[in-house]
Amino acid sequence: MPLFEARDDGLLTGLGTAFGVSPKGILLTADHVIASYRDSCVRLNTNSLSPTFGPSGDRSLIAFLSPGVVFGTVHIPHQFFPLILSAHSPTKEGDDPMRELRGEANIQTADVSVLRTQELKQELHTFRVSAASPKVGDTVVAIGFPKLDLIQGGRQEVAALLEEEMFASYGTVTALHPNGRDRSNQTPVFEVEAHWPSGMSGGPVLNRDGHVVGVVSRSMEGTEDFAGCGWATWLARLPELANAVPLLP
């Protein structure tokens, strides 16, 4: 589902993709999708290694729940735009001494965030998250909303623009990076040869069983000579997620 930042004047700005993992309103997305919004949030706890944030000021985070197939110009009730009440991203102690010298918290944030919506009037359609790890050669499929970050407008305008915007892309796992791609990005990821356009970030990456094994993190779009490459946050390498998200064996 699409994620938006909402202002008090009713204007929505597209941020990226999220997906449900609990019918009670628990979503997953990529942490970088909500990073700029999170900077304006209030801290809901005092644990530096497990920060949880909530809305503050004149900006809020909302999801768009599809009302199904509609025809013509229709009014979509506010219940299909639930408010995100909290955001939590797994973190661990970092190894960057410069952060300590600057007086910053020396932590590394994984590129995945657990979102909790306001109470929903109906149960959320969800994906099942697997604790199984992908293997090189596996076929996976990613789902998301390309170019979502270019969409801006009121609720009805946004709903109309999203009518045909969902995108799915098959790919093959080509490499595993259990400790991240480099020192500056230590989120465990697996690499996929696939075409993942901009705006797919935060979408689910599914295995052949239809279970989520990753979250779209980064990508390089394909060209005539390059098939494209994407990196998905490797959920099985983040055991701390199990406290917030039910995982299949």
Instruction: Catalogue all structural domains in the chain, each as residue range(s) with its CATH number.
Output: 2-117 (2.40.10), 129-248 (2.40.10.10)
pLDDT at 226 (0 to 100): 74
- Distance in angstroms (rounded) separating the CA atoms of residues 214 and 206: 7
Q: Are 14 and 151 in contact (CB under 8 A)?
A: yes
> Which tops the pLDDT comparison, 118 or 155?
118
Of the chain, the percentage scoring pLDDT greater than 90 comes to 19
pLDDT at 233 (0 to 100): 92
User: What's the pTM?
Assistant: 0.82
pLDDT at 69 (0 to 100): 47
Alpha helices for 123-223 (secondary structure H): 155-161
Q: Are strands 212-220 and 152-153 parallel, antiparallel or unpaired?
A: unpaired
Q: Which of 103-107, 138-142, 167-171 has the lowest mean pLDDT?
A: 103-107
Q: Which tens digit of pLDDT belongs to each residue from 57-76?
A: 677 888 888 655 444 455 56
pLDDT at 234 (0 to 100): 92
The DSSP-derived string for 227-241 is: --EEEEEEGGG-GGG
Of the chain, the percentage scoring pLDDT greater than 70 comes to 71
Paired strand residues for 206: 141, 212
- Enter the DSSP assignment of 35: H
> Which tops the pLDDT comparison, 95 or 213?
213
Nearest CA-CA partner of 90 in 148, 49, 30: 49
Most confident range, picked from 7-16, 39-48, 103-112, 198-207: 198-207
Rg (CA), the chain: 18
Nearest CA-CA partner of 15 in 72, 78, 59: 59
Residue 230 — φ and ψ, nearest 5°?
A: -135, 155
